Each structure stands twice: as structure tokens, then as C-alpha cells.
Copies of this chain bind each other. A is one copy, B any other.
């Protein structure tokens, strides 16, 4: 149950079998920092190439392919007084005919007021002068080294996690990743102070973070896609295009979870999901989109385990 502190010396724009930045054990906690998606640190200085440079990898002792890595997000704190976002919808989230009306995308700067827990535009966009948004810090991109020794860009996502941009990956949530490489090789970065569903302008409010997380390991428990849970929900993430396929992956993974941990057969799990499932949309900007399949704990508590 060691508490480690890591000051990153380098960052990676891919997830793969890179040399570990730190070796940690199940139960350990790590306090570290992440740069923003453009490679700027807590002082706003560019220190590494864009996009989505990752802190890590963290080698988790004992993790082997076929295990599940558990990552509890203890704390996600924006570490700068300003964040950056894009300001025009991505061409792929509007009707193709509407793309003509999208101007070039200037970046806008947001003041981040941690004391008030809110963000406001530094130079207001007309109409948004009074806009004050509550901070909801989340991790845009995190995951492990992919299957088969692959090395995959952090601008996309797959079974190993990656750039899922799901708002639910916030402090207090626990994420689960399938382990494909010895040590799992956990990466994280791409912090957002705030982000709407889908990251439809291609960014959230991009900002550097202080992060604190605790890892654990489930030996011999194999999962197919990232999973997670928080106080209210358990959830699964499917990453693919189109959204239909991402939804298929997430739903199928939820069926497997209900079968293994709640012993529900296909009819029982279907009946339950049919009446109670909720879907959320993660990233719809990158090469792979993300759909989240959620089930409320208030329902699960009625199922014997």
C-alpha cells in the first residue's frame, strides 16, 4: 500500500510496450501530473508533442495477460488557472450539408476558478458573456498496452481503453481494463476541466492535472472491454465506429458481466437491461467512437449475488 509520487520525465503519444516510468504493486497509490492534450504543463509551457501525451506507463507487479487492472480515480485536480477549448463543432457530428457553415476553429481560453469550482470564458464569445460552468474534471484518455504487442495512438480507442472521453471517468469512479501485456502498462492523461458528451468540438476544456489514483489487480479475471463503476452505476465501454457497433460491444460486455457476477442468464439479463439500461455517448470525434452501457445500482441491489 505504498504511496508513490512521480514527476514525469517523458510522455507518450501512443499506448504500447514502452519502458515503465514507475513500477507499482496492487494496492499502491500514485500521485503524479498530466500535461494537457496539446503537451502543455501546469505553467502552460509546451513540454512534449501533441496530441494526448500520456503520463506513464505504470508497470503493475504481477499483472499478466488475462487479468483485469483496477484503477480507482482518487483525485483529479486542474493545475492551471486557464484551460483551452475549440469553439466549432467537428464536421462529423453535423449533417454533411451543414459543414459548409462551420468556420475555421479558433481556440478559446477559459478561466478556471478552483475556489468557486467554475469556468468562464476569458474573452467572452458574444452571447456567452454570463456563462459560468461548474467544473467536472475527468480523464479523457487512459488505458493499458494493447493486445498482441500493438502500439496504438492516443487519439483513438479500442479494447485497451484509450481516448474514450467519457465524462463518467471522474474522481470517485473506478475503471477496469483488460490486461494484455506483462505489468499491464497503465497510461493516463488528456485531462478536461469540463466536457460535453461526445467531445463534439474535438476538445473539452483542456488542462493539466494533478492526479491521484490507486491500482489493484483481479488475477485471472478476463474482461473484453473497459468497465467502470461509481456510486450510482456500473458501466461498460465499447469503442468502435459506427456508434451502433460501439453500443453492441458495450451491451455484450454488460451481458457478460451480469452473467459472471450476478449469475443472470440471457433471459434474466435481457429482461433487466431491456427495462433499466441507460446509454451514454463518449467520444464521437476520433477514429473510434465510445458508447457507455450503464445499469443503476438501485436495480442491481435487487438481484441476489
Contacts and interface: CB of A to CB of B under 8 A. Distances in A.
A299 interface: yes
A47 interface: no
Contacts of A280: 279
A94 to B, nearest CB: 5
A94 B248 contact: yes
A147 B154 CA distance: 12
A6 interface: no
A131 B249 CA distance: 26
Nearest to A132: B302
A32 interface: no
Given A101-B266, A103-B267, A108-B271, A276 B242 contact: no
Nearest to A274: B201
Contacts of A148: 13-14, 153
Interface in A65-87: 85-87
A222 interface: no
Contacts of A271: 85, 87, 108, 121, 125, 128, 201
A302 B95 CA distance: 27
* Residue in A248, A255, A264, A267 whose Cβ sees the most chain B Cβ within 10 Å: A267
Nearest to A128: B268
> Number of contact residues on A: which range applies?
35 or more
Nearest to A253: B95
Given A13-B148, A275-B85, A244 B243 contact: yes
A254 to B, nearest CB: 10
Interface string A178-214: 0000000000000000111111110111000000000
Contacts of A200: 251, 270, 273-274, 277
A277 B89 CA distance: 12
Interface in A217-263: 240-245, 247-249, 251-252, 255, 262-263
A19 interface: no
Please name the 7 residue pairs, one residue from A and one from B, whose CB atoms are nearest each other, closest first: A201-B274, A91-B96, A243-B243, A99-B99, A196-B277, A242-B242, A151-B151
Given A196-B273, A196-B274, 7 more contacts: A16-B150, A85-B271, A86-B270, A94-B252, A128-B302, A196-B276, A196-B277
